[in-house]
Each structure stands twice: as structure tokens, then as C-alpha cells.
Amino acid sequence: MAEHSSDLIVETYKLTKIYQNRQIALNDVTLRLEPGCVLGLLGANGAGKTTLLRLIIGLHRPSAGWVKVFGKRMTANSADLRRRIGYIPTNPQFPRGMTPITYLDYMARLFGLPSEVRKPRLASLIRAVDLLSQAGQNIVGFSNGMTARLAVATSLINEPDLLIWDEPTHGLDPEARRSMLDLIKNLSREKTLILSSHNLSDIDEVCNHAAVLSRGQLIYCGSLQDLKGRMRRNHYELDLDGEQKAITKLVQALKGMGDFKSVVLRQRRLELHLTDEAVIASALAAACQQIAENKVTLVCMRSVGQQTEQAYLDLVEKEESRGFARIYHADAA
């Protein structure tokens, strides 16, 4: 972890946002982001992701708590801090009647970039986001993928130290999504990023940390590896080869073992569900021993389920059932 608060890129403390004195969009969120971190912000629609991002860049004022960016408090007047952030909102909109060149030039002027800096930077950004052949076309006719790439170029015009992108792959076709993820991977080598998404496989591919919001509360913040580690991998598939009689005998033997709550054979694929108490390594070792003793060949073994997705769903489920228990116990008390 960072030694001092001043080393952190983003720090929030007990950050809370209540709209119209009744809707709690964000509740008591404390998180710390170090340089080089690529944070995936996960949560269902309405979990508070966009509210958190807008509070970090100072577009919203917190109802309680505070945000620091680059070691300084973020307020509505912190233009100097916002200058160092590249932000992409969900579904970015662009003015009609402009081309990528005229729009990026306009944005660069707003940042006060002199002409000798502006021109080469525009050219290199347009190349980097692969819009060279559309550079002089009207933005109005752009596809979702082209609009997304222009939003990326816009967010990089001021050479920011921190990128905050809200649902950058939203609405993109598979090809556009692939080029966006590749772009994020390249940028993550030298920038700190916060990406919000409810596409878990995107987060899995490009992020090294995750924060999970559920109904305005931060229910997890840590490494992506640790989030996956919370998931019990207790569902396995084994592809087998051998005589049908030997495989049938093997299945009977496995059904008699206490570690498996279900043993199902579909053609030559064996599905094993372990009990929650089972020690995974020893249960699978015992299964392999039975396979060998019954002279069946094990072709392949794999754990089933998209890991990040499952870990995330387990977390949200636990938190929601805890929330229900909290309300219930409070009422009882």
C-alpha cells in the first residue's frame, strides 16, 4: 500500500451522497487508489457507480465525507485537479456539425494548449484511436464504436495522470469492444484507471483491482485475484475415456464417497459437485485414484463457471441477505 495519503491517486473517506434528502445513492464509501492501479468498478444498474465517479471528479458535491485526488481535496472549484483527469461519461455526446479534428482542436484550446503542442498531439491521438480515415467526417454519422474512440481521444487530450471511464464498452459490437479493451491494456502500462462496467469479463481482462458496489455501499475493494479467491470452486467437469462398464463402476464408487453431493455422467463427461465441507485437493485426488483403480482414462479436468462473475454474484448475494438480516434483527430489537 502507499506509504502516505499524499502518494495516493484517489482517496475517499466515508463518502455519502443523498439526492433530494431521501434517495441514498452512495453510503459511507472509503477507498484508496495507488498509482498504476487499474480499478474495475462493479455493480448493478443503480448501485451507485456513476455517482461515485462524478463525486471523484467534483461534478457532484458530497452530502458527507470527502474525496482527495492527487493528495488534495476535490471541490467544485478544483479545476487544477480536473485538468489532470481524463473522463468519459456513459454514452458520450458530441456537438453536431463538427469533425474529430475540429472537436479535438476545440477541446485542446479549452485546456489552453498552444498551437505547436496542439497540432502534433491531435494527429497522434487520431492515429492512436484509429480514426485517421474519418478525421474530416461529420461526427453525426458515426457508429457507436467510432464515437467511443473519439471519446477516448478527447479524454487523453490533456495528457491526464488519471483516467475515469464510465462504461466504456457499453453498446459496442464485439470488434469495437475488442479494440477498446486493447487500448485500455496499452494505457494501463502508464496510467492509473478507474473503469466502471457491469460486463464482468471486461473487468477480468483489463483490471488488477476491483471495487463492488451494492445499493450504494462498497461491499468489496481489493485485488481481482482476491475477489476470485473468495469463490469456492466446487463444481468440476471431467472428460473420461474407457470402457462403458468401467466408467459405470467408477460412477458408483464416487457416489459412495462423502465429498461429493452430486455425481452425474453425461455421455463421457462426469460432473462433480463437491460438498461445502470437502477439501478440494483431497476430494479430487480421491476421485483420480478411483479413476486409476477402475482403469478409466482421465482426458481433461476443469472447474466450471466464470470465476469473477461467480465471486461477484456470491458477494452481492451474501451482502443482500446480511442486509435483510440486519433489518430483521433491528426490528426484533
The share of the chain scoring above pLDDT 70, in percent, equals 90
Mean pLDDT of the chain: 88
Do 315 and 183 share a structural domain? no
Q: What are phi and psi of 29, to 5 degrees?
A: -90, 120
Do 238 and 224 share a structural domain? no
Do 200 and 72 share a structural domain? yes
pLDDT, tens digit, 9 for 90 and up, residues 22-40: 888 999 999 999 999 999 9
Do 183 and 41 share a structural domain? yes
Can you give the residue range of the structural domain that contains 268?
231-333
Could you tell me the pLDDT band of residue 305, with boundaries at 50, 70 and 90?
Answer: low
Residue 317's CATH number: 3.30.70.100
Residue 86's CATH number: 3.40.50.300
Could you tell me the three cell numbers for 36?
498504476
pLDDT of the residue at 332: 42
Do 201 and 89 share a structural domain? yes
pLDDT of the residue at 105: 95
Could you tell me the pLDDT band of residue 13, with boundaries at 50, 70 and 90?
Answer: very high
Do 261 and 225 share a structural domain? no
Total-model pTM: 0.74
In the predicted structure, residue 63 carries a pLDDT above the cut 80: yes
Of 102-106, 153-157, 225-229, 295-299, the one with minimum mean pLDDT is: 225-229
CA distance 275 to 260: 6
Do 245 and 160 share a structural domain? no
Number of folded domains that form the chain: 2
CA distance 330 to 333: 5
pLDDT of the residue at 328: 45
In the predicted structure, residue 142 carries a pLDDT above the cut 80: yes
Do 264 and 136 share a structural domain? no
Q: What are phi and psi of 308, to 5 degrees?
A: -60, -45
Q: What are phi and psi of 159, to 5 degrees?
A: 45, 60
Do 241 and 156 share a structural domain? no
Could you tell me the pLDDT band of residue 306, with boundaries at 50, 70 and 90?
Answer: low
CA distance 265 to 131: 52
CA distance 131 to 67: 35
pLDDT, tens digit, 9 for 90 and up, residues 175-192: 889 989 999 999 999 899
Do 246 and 214 share a structural domain? no
pLDDT of the residue at 304: 75
Residue that finishes a domain, picked among 194, 229, 264: 229
In the predicted structure, residue 310 carries a pLDDT above the cut 70: no
In the predicted structure, residue 326 carries a pLDDT above the cut 90: no
The share of the chain scoring above pLDDT 90, in percent, equals 63
In the predicted structure, residue 322 carries a pLDDT above the cut 80: no
Do 292 and 175 share a structural domain? no
Could you tell me the pLDDT band of residue 4, with boundaries at 50, 70 and 90?
Answer: low
Residue that finishes a domain, picked among 181, 209, 229: 229
CA distance 309 to 297: 32
pLDDT of the residue at 308: 65
Residue that finishes a domain, picked among 185, 204, 229: 229
Could you tell me the pLDDT band of residue 309, with boundaries at 50, 70 and 90?
Answer: low
Count of other CB atoms within 10 angstroms of residue 255: 11
In the predicted structure, residue 147 carries a pLDDT above the cut 60: yes
Could you tell me the three cell numbers for 218?
462498497
Do 329 and 193 share a structural domain? no
